[in-house]
Structure 1
Amino acid sequence: MIRAETRGDARWVTIDRPEKRNALHLDGWRRLGEELARAESESRVAVLTGVDDVFCAGDDIAVIDEAESAAEVEALADALYETFWGIERLSVPVVAAVNGLAYGGGFELVCAADLAVIVDDAALALPETTIGAYPPYAVERVGEICGRKRLMELVLTGEPIDAQTAREWGLVNRVVAAEELEPAVEEYVERVGESPKRATATARRLARSTDDGARDRIRGALSQLRRDEACRAATRAFTE
């Protein structure tokens, strides 16, 4: 499900679950965070991408649907928190090589990355509220990138945006043709690698605000949603 390899100054981490559109379950989120964290000791940059024409479709919705007990909901909340805020705590920059569709948690991974290059036919969306859930990292962070009104448009409607709109909204850095994706990412890797590691780590750390209780907010919000029958029905309907 998660593959990793070192290429020069970069550790490339690939989400490889094409049968589920690269959606991640609980262990997948944990593995992803662990592989990205290994870049701190092995590389100058972490690169995150997917397989085929999908970057990441987000959560495997069956995981949300099956979360019944408080412990199961808490485990899911913690896995999401550790992945996204774990990316923020890394000492190395993260580049998202967005090779296709990025929905839900996949969209959030793009936003958690420091730099993002996206193929020109990709689409991004935050459809969680339409299935009785919510995007925890997005509501905490994405408004800082694109503004609250645009965030609310994404979250409340669930409608996708195209790659060029994502660029205009500041969600990605570059839009390229599919064959130009890896060369564009490697160009970023090369440029980042020319700077002292401590300098890039310091700039990255100071550019990020603190989480200020985000873990507890995510636990509380997910617990409330899983107790709401309308939300549970929406999740079940999507799964079915």
Structure 2
Amino acid sequence: MSGVRSEVRQVAVERDGAVVTLVLDEPQRRNPLSLATMRALRAALRAAGDDTGVRAVVIGARGPAFCAGHDLRELAAADAAAAEEVFAACTELMLTIHRLPVPVVARVQGVATAAGCQLVAACDLAVAAEGATFATPGVRIGLFCSTPMVEVMRAVGRTRAMEMLLTGDPVDAPTALAWGLVNRVVPADALDGAAAGLAARITTASRATVAIGKQAVADTLGLPLDEAYAHAARAMCRNAATPDAREGIDAFLGRRPPVWSHGA
């Protein structure tokens, strides 16, 4: 159903056709990734992934900031066991994004710092407002951004990630675009439409095909060339055997629009 909105703790869940938008909804606190927020966001992502009517997810935020990272007050009060729980939840959240069968688009305004920058880098695609900034500033408060490093380094490369990690300096939106951290930079008043439009474009493809392709990217990233081709060939064989592949080829040859299945 289009135009549906519901609340899941600190995350607002909105549905418009085949696109689900998850909105971090603590603008007065710059949308920190508290333990509760990370668990709520992960639950909402998994629910979207389990719904075969969903073809894309957008992660956005309300207010002037996208996400200020982990809740530092929560971390300051945490003992070793509690800290381990926080970072385990963070890891589970990022892995959920990677394992989701549909693409996830980050919609970024204002600051995306530390785990907030990690969240952007973990998404499959990202659209940023012109005034957005990205940083991994943990080194400045004695807490090196080791977990954000995992995603950011994969997105921008080792040397650029090291500059961000060692200086803590923010990267502006045009630089983030040039470095590959985001896909598009748009005026602030065009951000919502640009992210929604990108997500809607994805929904025209077969969900089953996209799921296979997204997994193939994850499986081959960082592998030696021969192993990457072996994984990719297996993915192509699985894909070629699906009903949607047969439908797509038949539609192309018949010069008609394809009619995709609703399978995952």
| TM-score under structure 1 length normalisation | 0.83
Give the Cα–Cα distance (whole angstroms) in 2 for the partners of residues 71 and 49 of structure 1: 30
Q: 2:47 aligns with which of 38, 41, 65?
A: 38
Give the Cα–Cα distance (whole angstroms) in 2 for the partners of residues 39 and 72 of structure 1: 28
Q: Which residue of 2 aligns with 1:238?
A: none
SS in 2 for 1:54: coil
Alignment of 1:58-137 (within 5 A): 58-68=69-79, 70-137=80-147
Q: 1:146 aligns with which of 153, 156, 160?
A: 156
Alignment of 1:1-240 (within 5 A): 1-42=10-51, 43-68=54-79, 70-209=80-219
Give the Cα–Cα distance (whole angstroms) in 2 for the partners of residues 47 and 137 of structure 1: 22
Structure of higher RCO (CA pairs closer than 8 Å, 6+ residues apart): 1
Render the CA deviation track for 1:132-151: whole Å, top value 9, x for unaligned.
22334432232222111110
User: RMSD between aligned alpha carbons?
Assistant: 1.6
Render the CA deviation track for 1:25-66: whole Å, top value 9, x for unaligned.
111111111112211133111100011111111111012111
Q: Is contact 2:27–2:64 with CA below 8 Å preserved after alignment?
A: no
Q: Is contact 1:9–1:189 with CA below 8 Å preserved after alignment?
A: no
List runs of 5+ in structure 2 lacking aligned partners: 1-9, 222-264
Q: Is contact 1:51–1:99 with CA below 8 Å preserved after alignment?
A: no
SS in 2 for 1:172: coil
Distance 1:58 1:171, change over 3 A: same
Give the Cα–Cα distance (whole angstroms) in 2 for the partners of residues 107 and 78 of structure 1: 17
Q: Is contact 2:118–2:149 with CA below 8 Å preserved after alignment?
A: no
**Deviation (angstroms), 1:194:** 0.9
Q: Percent identity?
A: 37
Give the Cα–Cα distance (whole angstroms) in 2 for the partners of residues 104 and 172 of structure 1: 16
186-195 or 153-162, larger mean C-alpha shift:
186-195
Q: Is contact 1:54–1:101 with CA below 8 Å preserved after alignment?
A: yes
Q: Is contact 1:97–1:117 with CA below 8 Å preserved after alignment?
A: yes
Give the Cα–Cα distance (whole angstroms) in 1 for the partners of residues 220 and 157 of structure 2: 19
Q: Is contact 1:39–1:46 with CA below 8 Å preserved after alignment?
A: yes
Q: Which residue of 2 aligns with 1:224?
A: none
SS in 2 for 1:12: strand
Q: Quick check: which has more Rg, 1 or 2?
A: 2
148-157 or 32-41, larger mean C-alpha shift:
32-41
Give the Cα–Cα distance (whole angstroms) in 1 for the partners of residues 91 and 213 of structure 2: 22
